Structure 1
Amino acid sequence: MIIYNVTTNIHESVHDKWMIWMQHKHIPEMLACGKFISARFVRVLVEEEMGGVTYSIQYTTDSKETLDRYYLEDAPALREEGEKLFGDKMLTFRTELQVISDH
């Protein structure tokens, strides 16, 4: 099991618009691409020096191969819309996590 973690710091000036877009458009589109089993959307409880609010979206997939297919087939188009809508008001970084065990 692989978790594709996308951490985003969003500027307060576009926060509400971004939240609506994430919950009603982007996350559903990510799940609709057929590469992810589930998504968890959480707020990161830190005070950022640069301001903004930070969130993590954790998409679960069955394998690294499936994630690699997402990168090739779906990622460019899905990332493009967010970049167009929010530009430099959104700072994002991505992490791949391998699940070792659940307790």
Structure 2
Amino acid sequence: MIIYNVTVNIDDSVHDEWLIWIKEHIPQVLATGKFVDARLTRVLVKEDMGGTTYSVQYKAHSREALDTYYAEDAERLQGDGLKRFADKMLAFRTELEVIDEYSVNFN
């Protein structure tokens, strides 16, 4: 499994507007059919640059699904956010390969 991670630092002046937007954006990305699920998290480490940092983690069906997302959907879906928040956010993307998963069962 591949995790497509998008880390975003958003300026306080547009934080609330961005949070509404991202909660609409994530279902649009999932609607492409390239991902199994997504998780929106806030990074708890304070950045020197200020603002609030979030991580959105999308689990891709496969490497091929992520590559297809890049080719068919990424530019269109990222474009709206870039237009609306371009000078008020800093984003970077990473790809993670899941090697193993563990969980605790408290039955």
Task: Classify the TM-score, shorter chain.
Answer: over 0.9
In the aligned structure 2, how far is the partner of 1:57 from the partner of 1:87?
18
What secondary structure, in the 3-state scheme, does the structure 2 residue paired with 1:57 have? strand
- Residue 75 (structure 1) aligns with: 74
- Residue 53 (structure 2) aligns with: 54
Radius of gyration: which is bigger? 2
- Residue 84 (structure 1) aligns with: 83
Displaced runs of 4 or more, over 4 A: none
Per the normalisation by structure 2, the TM-score is: 0.93
What secondary structure, in the 3-state scheme, does the structure 1 residue paired with 2:13 have? helix
Please say if 1:66 is aligned against 2:65.
Answer: yes
CA RMSD after TM alignment? 0.6
Unaligned segments of structure 1, at least 5 residues: none
- Residue 26 (structure 1) aligns with: 25
In the aligned structure 2, how far is the partner of 1:78 from the partner of 1:34?
14
Shift in Å, 1:87: 1.0
Please say if 1:10 is aligned against 2:22.
Answer: no
What secondary structure, in the 3-state scheme, does the structure 1 residue paired with 2:95 have? strand
Percent of pairs with identical residues: 62
What secondary structure, in the 3-state scheme, does the structure 1 residue paired with 2:35 have? coil
In the aligned structure 1, how far is the partner of 2:86 from the partner of 2:21?
14
